[in-house]
Amino acid sequence: MRAAVLGGGPGGLYFAVSLKLRNPAHDIVVIERNRPGDTFGWGVVLSDETRDNLAENDSVSAEAIRQSFAYWDDIAVYYRGTVVRSGGHGFCGISRKRLLNILQERAAALGVELRFETEAKDPAEYADYDLIVGADGVNSRVRAAHADVFKPDIDVRACKYIWLGTHQKFDDAFTFLFEETEHGWIWAHAYQFDADTATFIVECSEATWRNFGFDRMSSEETIATCEKVFARNLGGNALMSNAKHLRGSAWLNFNRVLCERWSCRNIVLLGDAAATAHFSVGSGSKLAMESAIALANYIHTEPDLESAFRRYEDERRLEVLRLQNAARNSTEWFEDIERYFHLDPVQFNYSLLTRSQRISHENLRQRDPAWLAGAEKWFEKQATGHSPNAARPPMFVPFRVRGVELANRVCVSPMAQYRAVDGIPNDWHFVHYAERAKGGAGLVFTEMTCVTPQGRISPGCTGLYSDEHERAWKRLVDFVHAETEAKIAIQLGHSGLKGSTQLGWEEPDAPLLEGNWETIGPSCVAWSSNNPAPREMTRADMAAVRDAFVRAAEMADRAGFDWLELHYAHGYLMSSFITPLTNRRTDAYGGSLENRMRFPLEVVHAVRNVWPDEKPISVRISAHDWVGPAGIQPQDAVLISRMLAEHGVDLVDVSAGQTSVGAKPVYGRMFQTPFSDRIRNESGIATLAVGNIYEPDHVNSILMAGRADLVCLARPHLADPYWTLHAAADLRYEGVPWPKPYRAGRDQLYRLKARAEAMTGKV
Ligand SMILES: Cc1cc2nc3c(=O)[nH]c(=O)nc-3n(C[C@H](O)[C@H](O)[C@H](O)COP(=O)(O)OP(=O)(O)OC[C@H]3O[C@@H](n4cnc5c(N)ncnc54)[C@H](O)[C@@H]3O)c2cc1C
Ligand SMILES: Cc1cc2nc3c(=O)[nH]c(=O)nc-3n(C[C@H](O)[C@H](O)[C@H](O)COP(=O)(O)O)c2cc1C
């Protein structure tokens, strides 16, 4: 086969080597515009796993690469006059130039033709080759030539960066340097890659970049300015650029590249040309080289190029998406970094280390147990004011708000049971909530309990609008207080335009088959074409609903509830006032966000007036309508949370969606937690995170990084009422009390866990 590889970066060269190894008869040429020694950039990082893959593919180049590695184990973070250092991270780096030279030599030795200083203008020039590989990097011409087939999606990210080098030693740790300057924050990612040179990537926001005047500076002026900014960590060493071949000052914005297809006839994309991963997760070269192995492999084993390309794309796309997901989290962390500059150095460091969500609390424990124990002790001290002797997982650190102390930070999220008749909680509710309170959670929320019969979602919803309701709830609350350590919160709500619908396991949000009641809303906007439009509320309707919330709050206090949550999420009445999707009013209660918040805030104000000072109020909101700029977006949720805090709300319970049938939510592990993070760290109000959080490790990571103060789990508590007790056993933490009658069960469980740990080496 005659193959033309356009681009002699790590991807192109390694592909040529890999294909030639599989069949020396192939005639392969690599076309590279630069000279052999030219390179933009300094060092690259490769993980243990990648090194193993390379060794298996070609032991000769792998050995040469291994001999050129610089290794380090620690990450050091310089921030606000402190250095926080953690270990066990295990990286190694190699100079990009050295890597390319090794691959060039290896390719030449195997008989690959290397044509340097040759510009590939168009893949059509190579039409007489059987195979054309577009390995020409992030600005790929091959991709551009067939953009109609590859359908690239290029996302230009917000931060500015420049890839420099230095002879200053950073040989003991991968180092992050954060500097606050008169022009804004600017930071560097620095790591050693050979005996006397380190990569030094400088990054900042566009605003800071302009404030510095970098947009008007030459390369020399940029370098001189960066040397001044980072002088205290450069020990008098210069910063150097090797991007002389680039025009201008060599500052870049990262381009995230995705392509709908990776092949077109006999042309295939490889490496950065097909997909990029942000440099802060250090995986671009890994992706390119591992994809090169897969491509060579399938071309060798498959009967034709078409099926080889299909298998190559199937295998590699998944890995690319996984990495791009982590890379996106990491990119966004740096883009949103201003949000985290108020954090204490310990928490800032933890947030940085876990930014991609690939590294969790327990990963950090494995990497550096002493450092993590120190961080856990810090967490407890700032929460309780006491310095603990031994560390405990963050989820088991108590949380205090007003006069209420929760024993731990796990909450049973509100979940409608649809089992009530006339709003009255019955034996089902008693057993259901009592079980979850026995299960160890610090706080148990009731389901949305409705303030009027009309405000119920379905005929099965619980209410709090009669003495009978109050008595039934009091029986449960008394049991929880007498027999468990849990606190119990009532969630009060009104269904609004989503009322008069079927039970959760029937057709949710669809009108009842018979016995429907009139619904009300801010405007005559129906939930869906299947639902009747609600009646637009008058001022008198609003006063009546407000008074119903107040009456229910008074009953909840008399019933003994410790905590009150107002349900302002998921498209129900209050939520439908907040989102412009359903609030089309032209009076003082519609239009601007301030106007749309007016009625919900009136209700908060009235409820806060009757709810005891020592008891907290949280409000659950939908932080994202998932419909783009037409609806609520996370930046609006920050403003909403600030307004709630100004009206005496103690915590925001950060949910999302269910406000429009046209929503396009992006699901995933902990998918709503970024909204909680944003609200907590931009508005300063305490938050509860919720949504696809199901492992103790998730909970600890969220809390320790300061992404929320409390964590709600819903479905996991349907599957396991004793989720918290079991999480404690998994973590071998013994500080959570079990109900006395169950202690024999606890002892056996801990014994079995210890035995399993002894046998397998893990819990
Ligand atoms: C600041 C920064 C830091 C990074 N740090 C790391 C890291 O630590 N670890 C890591 O794994 N990755 C890192 N990367 C990513 C890494 O550099 C790339 O992902 C990797 O080089 C991709 O390899 P490639 O072969 O696909 O593309 P490239 O390395 O970009 O190679 C493409 C080659 O094609 C040539 N070329 C382009 N167009 C033409 C043309 N028309 N004709 C002829 N030749 C052409 C170019 O000269 C180049 O040599 C970093 C990237 C940046 C920007
Ligand atoms: C059966 C069920 C009923 C729910 N009822 C309510 C409710 O009454 N009030 C509310 O705010 N959220 C309600 N939710 C949403 C949950 O509280 C939670 O936000 C959501 O399920 C995501 O969390 P999870 O991934 O831990 O399940 C309900 C969820 C489920 C599964």
The two most distant CA atoms of the chain are separated, in Å, by 89
Instruction: Please say if 694 is a catalytic residue.
Output: no
For 23, the 3-state DSSP assignment is coil
Express each pLDDT in 180-235 by its tens digit: 999 999 999 999 888 889 999 999 999 999 999 999 999 899 999 999 999 999 99
Neighbour count for residue 400 (Cβ, 10 Å): 12
Q: How far is the CA of 40 from the centre of ligand 1 (A)?
A: 8
Torsion angle in degrees (nearest 10) through CA of 439, 444, 448, 450: 110
- Please state, in angstroms and rounded to a whole number, the distance separating the CA atoms of residues 243 and 228: 20
Residues 542, 589: contact at Cβ < 8 Å? yes
Q: Which of 78, 126, 298, 572 is labelled catalytic?
A: 572
Q: How far is the CA of 674 from the centre of ligand 2 (A)?
A: 18
Tokens of 385: 């004011």
Parts of the chain with a pLDDT under 50: 247, 763
Q: Report whether 531 contacts 610 (CB < 8 A).
A: no
Nearest CA, atom 23, ligand 2: 691
What is the pLDDT, as a whole number, of residue 444? 98
Q: What does the pLDDT read at residue 732?
A: 93
Amino acid (1-letter code) at residue 654: V
Of 746, 747, 750, the C-alpha closest to 763 is 750
pLDDT for the residue 757 = 86
Question: What is the pLDDT at residue 40?
Answer: 67
Residues 583 and 660: their CA atoms lie apart, in Å, by 12
Amino acid 485 reads: E
Closest protein CA for atom 25 of ligand 2: 692
* Ligand 1 atom with the shortest distance to the CA of 120: 42
Residue 248 has what pLDDT? Answer: 52
Q: How many CA atoms lie within 13 A of 694 on its CB side?
A: 10
Backbone dihedral region for residue 431 (phi beyond 0: left; psi -120 to 50: alpha; all else: beta): alpha
Which protein residues are within 6 Å of ligand 2, measured from CB? 413-416, 447-448, 491, 504, 567, 569, 620, 655, 690-693, 713-716
Q: In this structure, what DSSP letter does residue 429 have?
A: H
In testing the pocket of ligand 2, which one of 412, 413, 711 has its CB within 8 Å of the most ligand atoms? 413
Question: How far is the centre of ligand 2, averaged over its atoms, from the C-alpha of 443 (Å)?
Answer: 15
**Could you give the CA distance from residue 740 to residue 749 in angstroms, rounded to a whole number?**
15
Q: Are 470 and 558 a contacting pair, CB within 8 Å?
A: yes
Distance CA 533, CA 744 (A): 56
What is the per-residue pLDDT for 171?
85
- pLDDT value for 249: 64
Residue 46 confidence (pLDDT): 83
**Ligand 1 contact via 163 beta carbon (within 6 Å):** yes
Residue 508 CA to ligand 2 centre (angstroms):
13
Q: What is the model's pTM?
A: 0.91
Is there a contact between 599 and 587 (Cβ–Cβ < 8 Å)? no
User: How far does the centroid of ligand 2 lie from the alpha carbon of residue 132, in Å?
Assistant: 52
Strands 399-401, 710-713: pairing kind:
unpaired
- Asked whether 92 and 45 are in contact (CB, 8 A), the reply is yes
Residues 729, 707: contact at Cβ < 8 Å? no
Q: Whose CA is nearest to atom 8 of ligand 1?
A: 44
Paired tokens of 745: 């069960």
- Pick the ligand that lies closest to the CA of residue 95: 1
